[in-house]
Structure 1
Amino acid sequence: MSPLDTSAARSAAPLRSDLALIARMVDRGARVLDIGCSDGALLDHLIREREVVGRGIELSQRNVNACVARGLSVIQGDADTDLVEYPARAFDYAILSLTLQATRDPRRVLEQMVRIARHAIVSFPNFGHWQVRLHLTLRGRMPVTDSLPEAWYETPNIHFCTIRDFIALCEACGLEIEETLVLRNDRPQKGLLGSIWGGPLANLLGEKAIFRLRKD
C-alpha cells in the first residue's frame, strides 16, 4: 500500500464512540481548539465532517508529529501552562477529551477553556462508577477497569473525580452546563440528570461523562 493509500485508510477509520459524540456537539464551521488532541483523530474528523477551522495543542511530541503528518495544525504545548497565551474568545469550542484528570490544576484549565472559547466540551472517566467503588471496598486497592486501565503507579491520571465532583466544580466556577452525556458501555444514556439516570444513579452507573459548558 502506498503512503497515500495508508493516509486515506487512516482517515476512513471509525472514530472512537465517545469522540463521535463530542463531534456531534460541535456546530458546523466552528472555530475549534482540541486540547490534548493525541494523534488528531477527533480534530481530523471535525475538519473533514464538520468543516471546522481546527487547531490542536498536544504535550507529546510524537503525537504532534503524527498530527502534522496527517496535515493538521497542531503545536506542542501544555494545557496547564499554555492556554493563557490564547486571547479571549479566540474559538467557538475548546475540547478536552479524557485529559482533565491528567492535568495538574483542573480548575484553572477549565477556567481558561471558557475564557478562550464560547463553549467548552470536557469528557472524563467517572471514578464514582460502581465497579470502582466495589473494587475499593472488596479489595482495598486502586481499581483497574476498562475506563481506568492503568495501575496506580503507571497511570497519567493525578486528579480523579466523579460526575458529582465535576458538577460541583462547574458550580464553583460559575459555569452553565448546556448538555450532558453519561456513557455506559460507551453508549449514551437518555434523559440523564433529569430522570431515573440523573443524580446519584448517573454517578453510580456512568463509566464516562461528556459535558458541554459555557461561562454563565
Structure 2
Amino acid sequence: MKNLTIITADDHPLLLKGLNDFLIEKNFNIIGSGNNGQEAYDLIVEKKPAIAILDIQMPSMSGIEVAEKCKANNLDTKVVLITFHKEEILFQKAKEFNIFGYILKEFAIEEIETCIESVSKGIPYFSKKIKQSLKGNAFNDSSFESLTPSEKKILKLIVKDKTNKEIASILFISYRTVEKHRSNIINKLKLEQKTNSLLIWAKEHQGYLL
C-alpha cells in the first residue's frame, strides 16, 4: 500500500506542508502537490496518481469540480476530499460524483491512513466524524449575534489566516487586546480551549463572515 502514488492539493501552504510531511513520514509515495484546483487536475492528468487528496475549496476549481472533471474524462485517479467544511450539501455532492473519501481536517491525522488503505482497495471511506458533525452542526445564531463588532472583525481576519500580530497591526490595537478578544469569542461560541479551535470554527462558518 505504501507504494501507491499520491498527489495532494490545498491552497493553505501550512496545511499542505503538514499533510505532506505526515504522509512522507509514514512512507507514502507523494509524487506531486498543487496549490489550487487547476494545478491538482493537471497533476492528475500528467502523473496519473492512484489517489488525489484535495481540499474542497480552492482557487480555479474546487476539489469537487476536479473530481467531476476526472469522472467526465474517465480518469482512474480516486479522489479523497479533506476539508474544514461540514455542510451537508457538499457531503452529498461528494457522493454524487463518486468521490472515494471525505474526511475533516481536524481529524485528518488520525483518519488519513485508514482512508488511504480503504480507498486503495476500492472501498469508499466517508468519515464517521462527518456524520456526527452533520447531526450536531446547527449554526447557533444567538451565540454569533452576541459577538461585538470588534470580535466579528477579528473573526473575519482569522478566516483569512491572519496571525494575532497581523490582526493587531491591521486594527491598530495591541497584541494583548487581540488575545483578549479571541478568548472572549471562544467563550461566547462555547468552543473547546484547544489549538486552532477558533480557526476551525471560522473556516466552517466563513459564509457568515464574508
- In terms of fraction of residues, the more strand-rich structure is 1
Greater RCO (Cα-Cα under 8 Å, separation 6 or more): 1
- In terms of fraction of residues, the more helix-rich structure is 2
TM-score (norm 1): 0.40
TM-score (norm 2): 0.41
